[in-house]
Amino acid sequence: MESSRDLQPNKKLRVVHLADHTGRLQVIFPDSNMLDIAAVSRITKRRFEPVTNYHSSGDPLIKPNSITTILEANILKETSVSIRTKVNGFYRDTTSAELESMFSGPLNRFENISISTQLIKQPVDNHEDDEEQILQALGRFQSIRLKQRLEETLEIPPLPASSHRIIRLSSDTKAGTDELCDVIALDPSLAAQVVSWASSPYYGAPGAIESVEDAIIRVLGFDMVMNLALGLSMGNAFQAPEDGPRHYEDFWLDSVSNAVLVESLVKAMPNQGRPKIGHAYLAGLLHNFGYLAISTILPPHFSILSRYQEANAHLSSELIEMQILHFTKEQLGSWLLRYWSLPDNIWTAIRYSKKPHYYGEHAILAKLLYVSFQLRNEGIIEPSVLQEIGLTLEEAEACRDAVYQKSPELYKMVALINKMNA
């Protein structure tokens, strides 16, 4: 096999290791496809799960004929393919005939075990059609009784009383620090979180922060405290899932890291066109709220979704969600936030956060969420989006690097949230 660095994606092969209680299985399929774990189970009559190793580039190839291996049958239709023998190694070219010969032993077989991503349905373009698409998708799940409206179909946890109070307060243009302090004080756990947040080394406030009023006046500001308190209280409506993707470190760590990065990006933007920092922070904090919603409302399907995400780390979450659920977490999360009467710019930005070419209302906030996601996941950011929010790539990356430098402080803040929510 010859070394190759510049090959078309549809010629590259991906290696994933699966396991059950009786042993391991190696699967090989085109990098442009999604591994279908259900198909593997049907073929083997075993219930495999991905091993705990997580590599967006795939697992290393185990020597042929030393482990049971299933290869995607459509590979044989290619004239040549490329495969990596090490996690960080280069792709190496080989013909499909050579590959077939290499895996011709009794431990190997060629079967249809993957799905072309081009065949996966896309989410609807307009959020006004989300409810219909989600309802149609839920109709496929026999465990759910389909009704005419989404809120009648799903068993949605009630919004915490503190969230209701803060949402009402946010619409009161005359509300001030005293009213916000009174609302937060009704939830002692939430008040303690806000005070501890303002006291954290991340903000470096001089002296002790002894009250919510101190947190507002001396450190965080009215809008930030209102939106932080709202995000934290809403998160309490759901329990962080225990059976999520094993590479997903922590829901709150992901949420808080995203929130502070979006906040940093807004501060670096030109003044003209800047969204409110408090709203940007809240949108960043709630960007993945649909993840919690799916895990709480659809736990069996969430478990299946998590295993597919582990096996298909090379694909976007949207593709995997559309294949397994037929709707995305952005669709469900934004619908839920809209149902709970959050500000339009929050749920709209979350709904279109994976759409860099969205130009509707609140597009700037949606694009900020997109840029933050790409920065944190080392994705490519479309230059036109950076131009629209008024930042260069170097400025955006500097914001990310500054947030990463303060990651120890963020870990401490998140630990506090997890402790209080335990």
In this predicted model, what pLDDT tens digit does every residue of 143-196 receive, in sequence order? 777 777 888 888 887 888 888 888 888 888 888 899 999 999 888 888 988 888
Q: Which range (185-189, 199-203, 272-276, 287-291) has the least confidence?
A: 199-203
Burial class for 262, CB neighbours closer than 10 Å (0-12, 13-18, 19+): buried
Q: Say how many domains are in the chain.
A: 2
Please indicate, yes or no, whether residues 8 and 144 belong to a single structural domain of this protein. no
CATH number at residue 92: 3.90.960.10
Please indicate, yes or no, whether residues 257 and 114 belong to a single structural domain of this protein. no
Asked if residue 160 belongs to a domain, the reply is no
Mean pLDDT of the chain: 88
Q: Which domain holds residue 256?
A: 127-155+238-421
Quick one: pLDDT band at residue 250, thresholds 50, 70, 90? Answer: confident
Burial class for 57, CB neighbours closer than 10 Å (0-12, 13-18, 19+): middle
pLDDT in tens, 152-166: 888 887 888 888 888
**pLDDT of the residue at 91:** 85
Quick one: pLDDT band at residue 249, thresholds 50, 70, 90? Answer: low
* Global pTM exceeds 0.85: yes
User: Which residue has tokens 């937060």?
Assistant: 184
pLDDT at residue 247 is higher than 70: no
Please indicate, yes or no, whether residues 147 and 31 belong to a single structural domain of this protein. no
Please indicate, yes or no, whether residues 321 and 405 belong to a single structural domain of this protein. yes
Asked if residue 259 belongs to a domain, the reply is yes
**pLDDT of the residue at 243:** 65
Please indicate, yes or no, whether residues 135 and 22 belong to a single structural domain of this protein. no
User: Which residue has tokens 């280069």?
Assistant: 90
C-alpha torsion sign, points 245, 72, 122, 387? positive
Nearest to 18 by CA among 49, 62, 59, 54: 49
- From CA 398, how far away is CA 389, in angstroms rounded? 15
The domain boundary residue, chosen from 64, 94, 119: 119
pLDDT at residue 329 is higher than 60: yes
Question: Which residues, other chains included, contact 105 with Cβ-Cβ below 8 Å and sequence gap of 6+?
Answer: 64, 65
* Helix orientation angle between 289-297 and 222-235, rounded to the nearest 10 degrees: 20
Asked if residue 180 belongs to a domain, the reply is no
Asked if residue 59 belongs to a domain, the reply is yes
**Type of residue at 4:** S
pLDDT in tens, 104-121: 999 999 999 999 999 999
Q: What is the maximum span of the chain, computed from C-alpha positions, in angstroms?
A: 76
- From CA 231, how far away is CA 225, in angstroms rounded? 10
Please indicate, yes or no, whether residues 245 and 375 belong to a single structural domain of this protein. yes
pLDDT at residue 103 is higher than 60: yes
Please indicate, yes or no, whether residues 345 and 245 belong to a single structural domain of this protein. yes
**pLDDT of the residue at 345:** 94
Say what the alpha-carbon torsion angle 179, 181, 184, 190 is, to the nearest 10 degrees. Answer: 160
Asked if residue 324 belongs to a domain, the reply is yes
Asked if residue 309 belongs to a domain, the reply is yes
Mean pLDDT of 351-365: 95
First to last CA, the chain: 54
Please indicate, yes or no, whether residues 248 and 386 belong to a single structural domain of this protein. yes
Which of 148 and 21 is assigned the larger pLDDT?
21
- From CA 212, how far away is CA 249, in angstroms rounded? 30
**pLDDT of the residue at 7:** 38
* Joined tokens for residue 236: 């309490």
Asked if residue 210 belongs to a domain, the reply is no
Please indicate, yes or no, whether residues 81 and 135 belong to a single structural domain of this protein. no
Please indicate, yes or no, whether residues 309 and 409 belong to a single structural domain of this protein. yes
pLDDT at residue 9 is higher than 50: no
Question: Which residues, other chains included, contact 153 with Cβ-Cβ below 8 Å and sequence gap of 6+?
Answer: 135, 138, 144, 145, 146, 147
CATH number at residue 144: 1.10.3210.10
Q: Answer yes or no: are the C-beta atoms of 71 and 62 closer than 8 Å.
A: no
pLDDT at residue 246 is higher than 80: no
Counting residues of the chain whose pLDDT is more than 70, the rounded percentage is 93
Nearest to 24 by CA among 57, 58, 73, 70: 70
* Joined tokens for residue 299: 């736990």
**pLDDT of the residue at 2:** 44
**pLDDT of the residue at 44:** 96
Quick one: pLDDT band at residue 412, thresholds 50, 70, 90? Answer: confident
**pLDDT of the residue at 87:** 66
Asked if residue 191 belongs to a domain, the reply is no
pLDDT at residue 8 is higher than 60: no
pLDDT at residue 36 is higher than 50: yes
**pLDDT of the residue at 162:** 87
Cα 308 to the chain's mean position, in Å?
14
Please indicate, yes or no, whether residues 115 and 138 belong to a single structural domain of this protein. no
Element (H, E) at 197: helix 188-199
**291 forms bridges with which residues in the sheet?**
none
**pLDDT of the residue at 337:** 92
Q: Answer yes or no: are the C-beta atoms of 96 and 52 closer than 8 Å.
A: no
**pLDDT of the residue at 6:** 45
Question: Which residues, other chains included, contact 170 with Cβ-Cβ below 8 Å and sequence gap of 6+?
Answer: 226, 230, 343
Mean pLDDT of 292-300: 88
Please indicate, yes or no, whether residues 51 and 134 belong to a single structural domain of this protein. no
